[in-house]
Amino acid sequence: MDRFRLDAHVKLLDQAVVERAKDRGLDALVYAPHFVRLPEIRRRAERFTDDELLVVPGREVFTGDWRNRKHVLALGLSEPVPDFITLEGAMAEFEQQGATVLAPHPEFATVSLEAHDIRAHRDRIHGIEVYNPKYLAGHAERARELAATFNLPAFGSSYAHLPKTVGEVWTAFEGSFETVPEVVAALRDGVPRSVYHRSGPRHRVRCAAEFAHLFYENSWGKIDRLFLSGTEPTHPEHIAYEGRFDAVSVYTDTD
């Protein structure tokens, strides 16, 4: 039986990433960078897709405010969704668009869905991430426990913010897929799959590097500068969203 190998969440995409993904035997990866609007993500995904590697565009939406944010990974969106809107507002929008909704790194640090969030939105969530290189001891076990408790399919990703992490983790599906909609549907419909990751000293070094990068990525000073002006691409009050998300925005132009 064919096995389709997907790295279900990476943050960077260039030719070196593509070559690394191919070297690691991947068939596809999900490209979901921070603070980039969906049209640009789609353009870049299409640019780097070829006969050997399929790049699936996605959005990891930051719901809530910066200090109380919860990340949600959405695939198959038909329209852009901004960051820093309420969790309920984001989930309602995903449902309206018929998106595939995944819970990355549950109960990890201060950036994740908790058990009560998953319980509240159980019927809107299509998978739980059970492994990525940023997990510390116990995180993977807890994530698998949550997937079992809520009877949701598992997935794994490299969650790569650094190029060499791409392909350290993959989700292997039964079957074969040729298009982005087929991959999105496989994640949504619970197609049988298994999660794998590399091991050994090099894997541990890459895990440590990704975890160290987390502190830079989550600097309040960095995001404070980015998001309080209201002009950035994924700010909920950016002109591109035409006021659609004003009612569920957690930041306003007076903040």
Q: What is the pLDDT along the chain (255 residues), one digit of tens a residue?
A: 579 999 999 999 999 999 999 999 999 999 999 999 999 999 999 999 999 999 999 999 999 988 888 999 999 999 999 999 999 999 999 999 999 999 999 998 778 999 999 999 999 999 999 999 998 878 999 999 999 999 999 999 999 999 999 999 999 999 999 999 999 999 999 999 999 999 999 999 998 888 887 766 655 445 554 555 566 899 998 899 999 999 999 986 544
Q: Which residues of 99-132 are buried (b: 16+ CB within 10 A; e: fewer)?
A: bbbbbbbbbbeebbbeeebbeebeeebbbbbbbb
* Residue 48 in domain: yes
* Residue 253 in domain: no
* Residue 211 in domain: yes
Q: Where are the alpha helices (DSSP H) in 58-191?
A: 87-97, 115-120, 139-149, 180-189
Q: How many Cβ atoms from other residues are within 10 Å of residue 213's Cβ? A: 16
Expressed as residue numbers, the domain containing 117 is 3-248
Quote the pLDDT of residue 252.
66
> Domain containing 51 — which CATH number?
3.20.20.140
* Residue 255 in domain: no
* Residue 120 in domain: yes
Q: Which residues pair with 156 in a beta bridge?
A: 131
212: helix, strand or coil: helix
* Sheet strands side by side (includes 169-174): 154-156, 127-131, 100-103, 70-75, 54-63, 28-31, 3-10, 169-174, 193-197
121: helix, strand or coil: coil
**Packing angle of the helix pair 15-23, 38-48 (nearest 10 deg):** 60
* Residue 174 in domain: yes
* Residue 235 in domain: yes
Structural domain total, the chain: 1
Q: How many Cβ atoms from other residues are within 10 Å of residue 147's Cβ? A: 21
* Residue 137 in domain: yes
- pTM of the entire structure? 0.93
CA distance 203 to 109: 21
